Amino acid sequence: MTDQPEATADLTGNPLLCAEGLPKFDQIKPEHVVPAVKNLLADAEQALSALEESIEPTWDACFAKLEEIDRPFEYAWGPVSHLFGVKNSPELREAYESVLDDVVQLGLRASQSRQIYEACVAIRNGSDWETLSPTRQRIVEKKIQSAELSGIGLEGAQQERFNEIAQELSQLSTTFSNNVLDATKLFELVLTEQTDVDGLPESALAMAAQSFNQKQSERVAEAGDDPESVDEATPESGPWRFTLDGPSFLPFMQHCRRSDLREQLYRAFLTRASEGDFNNEQNINRILALRQEKSELLGFSNFAEMSLAKKMAPSVAAVEEMFETLRSASWDAAAADIEEIRELAKSEGVTDELKHWDVAFWAERLREKKFDYTDEELRPYFPLEKALAGMFDLVERIFGIKVQQSETAPVWHEDVRYFEVLDSDGSNIAAFYLDPYSRPENKRGGAWMDDCLGRKLIGSNVQLPVAHLVCNSTPPVGDKPSLMTFREVETLFHEFGHGLQHMLTTIDEADAAGISGVEWDAVELPSQFMENWCYHKPTVASISGHYETGEPLPDELFEKLKASRTFRAGSMMLRQLTFGMTDMLLHGGFEPPQEGDTSGETVFDVQRKVIEKTSVLPMLQEDRMLCAFSHIFSGGYAAGYYSYKWAEVLSADAFSAFEEAGLDDEEAVAKVGRRFRDTVLALGGSRHPMDIFSEFRGREPDPAPLLRHSGLA
């Protein structure tokens, strides 16, 4: 275990050691990490040893004590891990990585405790089992399963090897994530000629000029030069700086008229973290090899089988059956999508063969032609403030809660905001942080929800849940507020859906409250459910308002937006299936080549096999998308990316309950909404998700609503 903290280490005032209220994000610095975490690890080791010596097979003597040991880490390691994703720096990395092995080792130590495992088994087999609530019974069962999947049954050299694998996988995950962040941050495309940016919308040019100025300021500061000596970029005359960050990359691919520049940016995006100091290829091979070895040590044929042992899907075969059902329903539509794009390009005088970097551009032109609107026409109607106000109004109507901003919470960046969630009687039931904007210099890409504090009993008091909602939306530019793309609005609703499940839980047991204990492939149900409201006319009226006039989105634009919902649905479905099927194949027994071996099948060969079935356009030879596939190599989606589609079946069917009640019938919607809140959102991991879904819906899920919503029925 970790060494005791040095006697000279001053822990006085260390914000990571304050285990009450909210984490002190405004005070936490990299130098606080090592002494605080080492101190907690030493305390936890002692507490764990004491528990093992005196443990009895009862709930209070086992699980209540384990919660006491875990709680300080919620205030220390939790905030550090969070800041690692949203305020990354060389100093924080060094501190984080210097204690990571010890944190992993403590987790293994606890999960492989023979005394705790035997106590759990004794509880399950004891005469008092039936007196435990169903929630506690499920927690005990999951604790036993978790111990077995953590190598509790291994002994001697096998357990030692299992632990070595866990340590190495943790380090590889961190390295993979850092490489993606650094490779993304490293690339820039600076343009100076007006003809280079023809076709790009005003918002993209303004953000590109602002990005150039920010980067210039950093360089000037590093060099110690006079800031007054540098000319500022303007949206009208440039220079313009484009990056691989989503809010910069996507508009460029959709609107830049120069195919050669689109190709340059596209190839850079496709090969992120695949060369030089940030090359993730060998990290991928090593991760896959270690996961396979780990699964074999536990008696599974491959990592996919091991992953599904604790998920909702019953088997790999069931996942593959879903893949094929959705793939076959989507292929013809996707082929027609590409043909339409080709024909449009030809009609505009393009004689070259359609390339991968042309698809987004011509698809956007086709969408504009079909539905007669552009993303840029929508953007002014979706300032962040209005989208938030409308979203909060929606959940008040359907779930009976009220959201209000508070200025009292410590934050890690000036853009971060804090909101409290009140029940219908005015009582405070939860809260959340919102970190809305892209910051490619120190914040990883994508969007996510994570728990800051979980609901649990502390003595006789309930600790209320607090969530982190993190997006990478378009930031304010100049004197304009954050004007969101419609996809960014959907993402906001998506992450808020995750947050609702964390915040509206009524379970007081930490291991089953909110998303804790929820099978991974059911976690996306509330998030994808919330996205459906973005196409409900009254909701759109409430989340939209022109940033200058306040005018809601015109009816004509809404109807076009709604009609475009299924635009290229076949192509979008196949894109998601590409990720999911590749993930499952890589974790289904594939043997990656050893370093230096060029004769065997590579991970990119596996990707190519999948793409032959899921893409009308063949895979580019240099495609290295997997090197930046953080979801499965540094996130929680290994052999689980299928969860998005699995849960989308559930979410579409859940939303159809509201459709059946009548979306414009406020009373009926509120009644169904209350049932959704009391089941899906409230019960968390206290019961199997199929039981919870069936209680809400009155039956098991039906895939028909998903195909109908996608226009693929």
The per-residue pLDDT for range 322-360, each reduced to its tens digit, is: 999 999 999 999 999 999 999 999 999 999 999 999 999
What distance in Å separates the CA atoms of residue 470 and residue 58, rounded to the nearest whole number?
Answer: 39
What local confidence, expressed as pLDDT, does residue 581 receive?
Answer: 98
> Are 330 and 574 within 8 A, CB to CB?
yes
8 occurs within a structural domain: no
- Given a cut of 70, the residues of the chain with pLDDT beneath it are 1-10, 226-230
Rounded Cα gap, residues 35 and 658, in angstroms: 52
What one-character DSSP code corresponds to residue 446?
S
- Distance (Å, whole) CA 690 – CA 700: 7
Q: What is the reported pLDDT for 1? A: 37
Task: Say yes or no: 137 and 38 in one domain.
Answer: yes
As to burial, measured by CB atoms within 10 angstroms (0-12 exposed, 13-18 middle, 19+ buried), residue 424 is exposed
Last residue of a domain, one of 218, 239, 271: 271
- CA angle, 195 then 200 then 204, to 5°: 125
For residues 310 and 638, is the Cβ–Cβ distance under 8 A?
A: no
Q: What are the tokens at 339?
A: 């043909």
Q: Tell me how far apart the alpha carbons of residues 125 and 285 are, in angstroms, rounded to a whole number.
A: 42
Question: What pLDDT, on the 0 to 100 scale, is given for residue 248?
Answer: 94
CA–CA separation, 683 vs 74, rounded Å? 22
Tell whether 518 and 663 lie within a shared domain.
yes
> Are 553 and 499 members of one domain?
yes
pLDDT of residue 711: 86
User: b/e string for 296-307 if b means 16 or more Cβ within 10 A?
Assistant: ebbebebbbbbb
Tell me: do 386 and 523 sit in the same domain. Answer: yes
Q: What is the pLDDT of residue 713?
A: 75
Question: Is residue 408 included in any domain, yes or no?
Answer: yes
- 96 and 210 in a single domain? The answer is no
Alpha carbon of residue 67 to chain centroid: 26
Q: What pLDDT does residue 9 have? A: 58
How far apart are alpha carbons 67 and 69 in whole angstroms? 5
Domain boundary among 271, 290, 312: 271
What is the spatial distance between Cα 14 and Cα 5, in angstroms, rounded to a whole number? 14
State whether residue 257 is helix, strand or coil: coil
Q: How far apart are CA 200 and CA 205, in angstroms?
A: 7
Tell me whether residue 2 is in a domain: no
Q: Does 33 reside within a domain?
A: yes
440 shares its domain with 553: yes
CB neighbours of 206 closer than 8 A, spacing ≥ 6?
235, 477, 478, 480
What amino acid positions are annotated as catalytic residues? 495
Please state, in angstroms and rounded to a whole number, the distance separating the CA atoms of residues 46 and 565: 57
User: Residues 40, 132: one domain?
Assistant: yes
Q: What are phi and psi of 112, to 5 degrees?
A: -105, 15
Asked, for residue 85, whether it belongs to a domain, the answer is yes
Residue position matching structure tokens 């050691």: 17
| 354-388 as b/e: b if 16+ CB within 10 A | bebbbbbbbbbbbbbeebebebbbbbbbbbbebbb
Domain membership of residue 593 (yes or no) is no
Residue 194 in tokens: 């007006």
CA distance 200 to 191: 12
Q: Which two tokens stand for residue 400?
A: 């009976």
Q: In sequence order, which ranges of 564-688 are alpha helices (DSSP H)?
A: 569-586, 603-614, 630-633, 643-661, 666-676
Per-residue confidence (pLDDT) for residue 227, from 0 to 100: 65
Q: Does residue 536 lie in a domain region?
A: yes
List C-alpha distances in Å: 583 to 520, 617, 660: 15, 20, 36
222 and 74 in a single domain? The answer is no
The single-letter DSSP state of residue 5 is P
Domain boundary among 205, 240, 271: 271
Question: Which residues are within 8 A (CB) of 343 and not within 5 positions of it... i.e. 6 or more apart?
Answer: none
Residues 544 and 468 occupy one common structural domain:
yes
How many domains is the chain built from? Answer: 3
pLDDT, position 670? 97
Q: Quick one: which H or E segment has residue 472?
A: strand 466-473
Residue 469 belongs to a domain = yes
Residues 534 and 448 in one domain: yes
Q: Which CATH number fits the domain that encloses residue 689?
A: 1.10.1370.40
113 plus 254 within the same structural domain: no
- At residue 6, the pLDDT reads 42
Domain range for 399 = 380-568+644-709
Shared-domain flag, residues 192 and 147: no
How far apart are alpha carbons 116 and 107 in whole angstroms?
13
How many of the other CB atoms lie within 10 Å of CB of 551? 12
Token pair belonging to 206:
């303004």
Is the CB of residue 139 less than 8 Å from the CB of residue 509? yes
| CATH code for position 51 | 1.20.1050.40
